[in-house]
Amino acid sequence: MNPPLILATGFSAFPGAPENPTAWAIEELERTGWQPAGARLVVRTLPVTFEMWSTTMFPLLSALQPEAVVSFGLSAKAMGVTLESTARNCVATDRPDFTGACSGTGCVNQHGPALYPSRLPLKEIAGRLQQAGVPMERSDDAGDYVCNMLFYKLMAAAEVSGPKVAGFVHVPYLESQAQRLNAAGHTIVCGSVLNEGQLLLGIESIISAVALRLQGE
């Protein structure tokens, strides 16, 4: 019997964020071949577009049929690895995606519920992050940009056909990225920063907690 499959996703650059720490982390996980105990990990970096769900993420879910999905995104104001508890049915109409397009509607799904709860084992994840010494916080508002859109659509899909364990996590900039971007003339205002070791340890801790949850089901 094959071990359960976990899909972890990050995002590429977007307006106002010339570098994305989640893209770096996904590339690093792929480069090292790291795998959680008791599960198989597949990683992908997604484009920051409002069409991303239909063009990239939904086909990926259909092809892989993962038992769990953990999606990661950048929040410059994050004060650490941020566990998002709630996906909200809202999208800003004045924030362009990577292609320059804006959302044509203020909600993710006109006929959908106002919110969906995360399906990640947030308590267990928080415990692992604290034990690892990785700065973390909890949040019940994932914003109104592409991150929240993905979170909402992912949870809506989970309600219908899976994955049974799924959710979204925001992370801050890497310290090296913030320094490099500010030196290049970009104005990067950060709530906090992480070093490379902290970010990888945080993401690996989250995925490991998800793998453990899958083994217990």
Q: Write down the domain spans for the chain.
A: 5-216
pLDDT at 217 over 70: no
Instruction: Write out pLDDT tens, residues 167-186.
Output: 999 999 999 999 999 999 99
Band (162; pLDDT cuts 50, 70, 90)? confident
User: Which percentage of the chain shows pLDDT scores above 90?
Assistant: 97
Mean pLDDT, the chain, integer: 97
pLDDT at 208 over 90: yes
Instruction: Write out pLDDT tens, residues 34-88.
Output: 999 999 999 999 999 999 999 999 999 999 999 999 999 999 999 999 999 999 9
What is the reported pLDDT for 216?
Answer: 81
CATH number of 5-216, picked from 1.10.287.70, 3.40.630.20, 3.40.30.10, 2.60.40.1120: 3.40.630.20
What is the reported pLDDT for 125?
Answer: 98
Give the HSE-up count for residue 25: Cα atoms under 13 Å, Cβ half-sphere.
31
pLDDT at 1 over 80: no
Instruction: Write out pLDDT tens, residues 22-45.
Output: 999 999 999 999 999 999 999 999
Report the sign of the C-alpha dihedral through residues 144, 147, 149, 151, in that order. Answer: negative
